[in-house]
Structure 1
Amino acid sequence: MTRKAEAAPGPTGTRRPAGGRSARLAPHTLAARDAWASALEAVPRSRFLPDLIWPHDMATGETTSVDRARDPRAWQRHADADEPIVTQWDDGNHRGEAPGRSFTSSSSMPSLVSAMLADLDARPGHRALEIGTGTGWNAALLAHRLGAENVVTIEVDRAVADEARRRLTDFGMPVRVVHGDGFLGHADGAPYDRLIATCGLRQIPHAWVAQVRPGGVLLVPWGTYYGPGEATARLVVAPDGRGASGPFTRPVAFMRMRSQRLVWPRHDDYVPPGAVSAADTSSTALTEAQLLGTGSFDAVDFALGLRVPRVARNVDRKHDGQRAVWFYGLTDRSWAVVVFRDDRERAKVYQAGPRRLWDEVADAHAWWVAHGEPAYDRFGLTVDERGQHVWLDDPDQVIGRPQGASG
């Protein structure tokens, strides 16, 4: 059985190829990756996967069901492959072998697991908190290097937490698995030396910073609601413990933390019949490739989301040489659409509502180009008691201060 992936976030742990400076590893990352090699050999992913899995093909976007009992060789081949594997659909409400509607738990592709553990740079003697247990494999890798007694992992889904706890115990890694809301962290085990999240966030809680010691590291996939583009932020806690700051390290795509999922706007609520003909119209010389990028690793989505807050963007499928890209305001009913046609040099623009959303997007794109089209690793994030803000090149060069679910 196969299913074409939706435009929403991909399976947890999908990694886009790194571009620009992101492809160069820092010295601590190079050393840490070597140090994790033995853990990856000693803790096979296959020990933490269920009998029924849904491998996700990165090239085609399709998800296929594989049953271990029916085809053990195919199951083992996928378990050992460098690909993300869906292990739960629809918050556990899905039944049967056919793929469900939405990915809600998975096992990350091994290359990304290795890269993120290297970025985290957890070392023997450290205590670590993981947000998002999933299958338990990542927690087992941490436990192999740090000791099971030094790892706490928290999972919001009780069934997922129970299964991970069982597999960790069976493997001889009795990590403490907590069923609860990872957004709150786990203060009972604080302070930690390292905190890693395996779900995508749009707002990082200050509670996480408070639960990591000064000089400790948080590694968190972060992005905006503008699009699926996100990157891992490697934040170091300040000496006074009141904030944490650091650069983004690599582009990724993770399932959202459940409490921060975007409830997509209903198109008809924004654009009722007749709204397009009554909208303000203009045209743009921006091309489809310039707006959307030319590959899944392109930083343009990420950058535009930083400059156009509280907006969700949706890209229609191309049909007969035409593609529409829609923008919806998340705090009002402002909307815009740009329609690209292969046979025209300029694209038609329609927009309506209190905000001129297309104007904001066009201005954001001009800003990105004027600053040299920065890749992910030129951006950074600071989280403190006031909230969070993103910066370019230096923490003093603040871009914006996204807040809450509308960021």
Structure 2
Amino acid sequence: MSLKSEQGRRASDELARALLETGALTPGWAGTFRAVPRALFLPDLVWAHDMATGRSVPISRSDDPAGWERAAYANVPLVTQWDDGQHTASAPGSVPTSSASMPSVVAAMLRDLGVSDGMRVLEIGTGTGWNAGLLAHRLGSGNLVTVEIDEAVADQARQALLRAGLHPGTVHGDGGGGWPEGAPYDRVMVTAGVRAVSPRWLEQSRPGGVILAPWGTHYSDQDALVRLTVGEDGSASGPFLRMVEFMKLRDQRLDWNRFRGHVPDFPGDADVSRTTVALPDLGDRYEPARFVMGLCVPGCAHVVNRSDSGTAKAWFFDLTSRSWAAAVFRSGEPEATVYQSGPRRLWDEVEAAHRWWVGQGEPSHTRFGLTVTAEGQRAWLDGPADSWAV
């Protein structure tokens, strides 16, 4: 698509107008959104992702140019790669591994980044290159370095940026290491979900600089956008802004196969008890309870299996031992049956975390924050003075 496409220009204007009305896009970014069209950075085959159903529908530019154009400027996430590029069919693959984020999410993150003229930015996760293009247009190509771990994705993004007349530093490499050759940076923007903030990002940031990243725990797929300010001592601290969900950094993905040996037979010799905690108490996809459980029960992975009969089984697995727990919820029953095995009493920890959260007035994620030092990561409620390791 040419930058001069009249249809593309109208669609880009309409998208910018809609984002301005919602407040996701600020006036300072509006001109850039109009000048750097999302469609220029998309491959010919994309998969429009429905956030409500979780389904991804393929749309081919050659087969359905009008549908492809609508998807390009719609406020929906578009999957652009499956299974680290190993999947090449038009049907969806198993795991989405690269995407074009929702325009509203992109706009809001750029707003929260808080850039101004002359700032140098490091972007972790180039993806399609659209976010890098927006930053390069706003700040100048020489003030941006973007790092992408997938060589094919990096090459495609580089070509798209060139078509847009933009020339930021586009690096094929592991974003966890940052890019020291371009340091120090005023801003580090991470466009993949992280479970640990890399110390390299702190080292390569100026004091007073900002690291903006979707952060979460292995407890769930949830991420919350955290805005960390780097201190003179090299630590960084800041609040969670809102819930998001991003594809995870490749070396920080959770491999569920690691738990195959945890439960050789169910329930085996597990201890059995009952609980009045209900399944909704544990929180759903974007609810704060689920996020807080991850903060308060570190090193724990959690998943819920549901059956057509109305039974749901919530699993909890320890990341460092063979400890596990399962709570079985049956429709219409006031109590659930709990099974626990191993030295770590995972359900007891989850139940205690839920009681604590309720006792604090059920605070949302925005009252929590994160502090990162060379020693690790610590979460806190209302302020970093009282914090705990995560």
Q: Verify same fold: TM over 0.5.
A: yes
Aligned residue runs from structure 1 range 315-394, under 5 A: 315-394=304-383
Residue number in structure 1 paired with 2:8: none
| C-alpha distance in 2 between matches for 1:272 and 1:31 | 48
Q: Residues 359 and 276 from structure 1, CA distance in 2 versus in 1: closer, same or farther, beyond 3 angstroms?
A: same
CA distance in 2, matches of 1:373, 1:57: 29
Matched with 1:7 is: none
| Counterpart Cα distance in 1 of 2:47 and 2:352 | 41
Match of 2:261 in 1: 269
Among 130, 133, 138, which residue is 1:145 paired with? 138
The 3-state SS of whatever aligns with 1:173 is: coil
Q: Distance in 1 between matches of 2:263 and 2:113?
A: 44
1:89 aligns with 2:77: no
Q: What residue in structure 1 maps to residue 108 of structure 2?
A: 115
Instruction: State the SS of the aligned residue for 1:161.
Output: helix
| Letter in structure 2 aligned against 1:283 | R
The aligned residue for residue 395 of structure 1 is: 384
1:131 matches 2:131:
no
Instruction: Specify every segment of 5 or more residues in structure 2 that has no aligned partner in the other structure, as ranges.
Output: 1-22
The alignment partner of 1:269 has SS state of: coil
Q: 2:165 and 2:233 mapped to 1: Cα distance?
A: 35
Give RMSD over aligned pairs: 1.4
**Aligned equivalents of 1:162, 1:118: Cα separation in 2:** 27
Rounded Cα–Cα distance in structure 1 between residues aligned with 2:97 and 2:201: 23
Q: Distance in 1 between matches of 2:353 and 2:345?
A: 12
2:177 equivalent in structure 1: 184
SS at match of 2:218: coil
Q: CA deviation at 1:206?
A: 1.5
Secondary structure of 1:153's match? strand
Q: Would you say how many aligned residue pairs link Structure 1 and Structure 2?
A: 368
Asked if the contact 1:155–1:161 (Cα under 8 Å) also holds between the matched residues in 2, the reply is yes
Cα distance in 2 for residues equivalent to 1:182 and 1:291: 33
44, 47, 61: which one aligns with 1:51: 44
> Identity percentage over the alignment?
52
* Aligned 8 A contact 2:25 2:107 in 1: no
- Which stretches in structure 1 are left out of the alignment for 5+ residues? 1-29, 403-407
Letter in 1 for 2:179: H
Deviation at 1:371, TM superposition (A): 1.1
- Specify the alignment match of 2:295 in structure 1: 306
Distance 1:354 1:140, change over 3 A: same
SS at match of 1:316: strand
The answer to whether 1:290 aligns with 2:281 is: yes
**Are residue 250 (structure 1) and residue 236 (structure 2) matched?**
no
* Alpha-carbon distance, 1:33 to partner: 2.3
Q: State the match for 2:12 in structure 1.
A: none
The letter of the residue matching 2:207 is P
TM-score normalized with structure 2 length: 0.92
Report if aligned partners of 1:127, 1:192 keep a CA contact under 8 Å in 2: yes
Partner residue, 2:16: none
1:319 Cα deviation from its structure 2 partner: 2.2
